[in-house]
Each structure stands twice: as C-alpha cells, then as structure tokens.
Amino acid sequence: MADYFILIIKVWTMIVNENNSMPYMKSLVTCLNRMITEGYTEDFKITDQGLESLHKHGNYKPEQIQVVNFYRFEGESDPDDNAILYIIETNDGTKGTLIDAYGVYNDPKLSQFMKDVEIILKNPVKN
C-alpha cells in the first residue's frame, strides 16, 4: 500500500512539473535573466540616500518607485539561502531589479525602505 502512495506522489509531481508554465521561476538566476529580457535591465541598491540606480546614477525615494512584482526563493540545500527579487519601476520610467536576502540575513536598510514604498504589487506572471 505504501508503494502505491509513493507512486501517486511521483506521478502527481511529474504532472505538476510538466504543466509548470514558469520554468524560469525555479531559480533566482533564471528569473533574473527573464526579467532582464522583459526590460528590467537596471541594477538597484539601497544607500543612505535611498534606492540608487547603478547605471544611471540616480537616487529614488520610496514614493518615487513601485514594486511591480516580487519573487521569493529558498535554497534547496541550505535553509539560510533565501532571497527575494524585487521588480521595480521608477517614476521616470527606469525599470530594474533589486535583490535582498530574507529572513535572518536581510538588509535592515532595504527592509525599511520597502516598508515605506506605497505601491507593492504581486502580478501573475505572463508566459
């Protein structure tokens, strides 16, 4: 009987994996690459002045951005390997990404900045 349940779980897992319409969501790197192909090419980081655009060298306050989506990733081999990828658009049209750890290792400045952002959306992913 136990073998029967194991077989059902394996078949269900195969069906779910075959029907996974978002294979790029399986890792941070593949998701980040997908976002770049969708035009989110700017790299952001948090500084004392706010959200800094690394290529355009601009700074943004929380009210000047919106998080149009975000994704969380958990490391398979290490539970401390958790990350969150923010997909960001600014009021001047700059589109990019920001990565942070979440959990114990998150950046307190980044966490506070995100708490101050007024628009944080979670949109379904388009294929």
pLDDT exceeds cutoff 70 at 123: no
Q: What is the mean pLDDT of residues 98-118?
A: 87
pLDDT tens-digit profile of 93-107?
999 999 998 777 888
Nearest to 58 by CA among 96, 86, 84: 96
Q: Which residue has the tokens 């948090």?
A: 46
Measured at the CA of 19, the angle between CA 13 and CA 24, to 5 degrees, comes to: 100
pLDDT exceeds cutoff 80 at 14: no
pLDDT tens-digit profile of 20-68?
445 456 788 889 999 999 999 999 999 999 999 998 888 999 999 999 9
> H or E stretch including 119?
strand 119-120
Q: Which residue has the tokens 């394996």?
A: 10
The Cα–Cα gap between 67 and 84 comes to 12
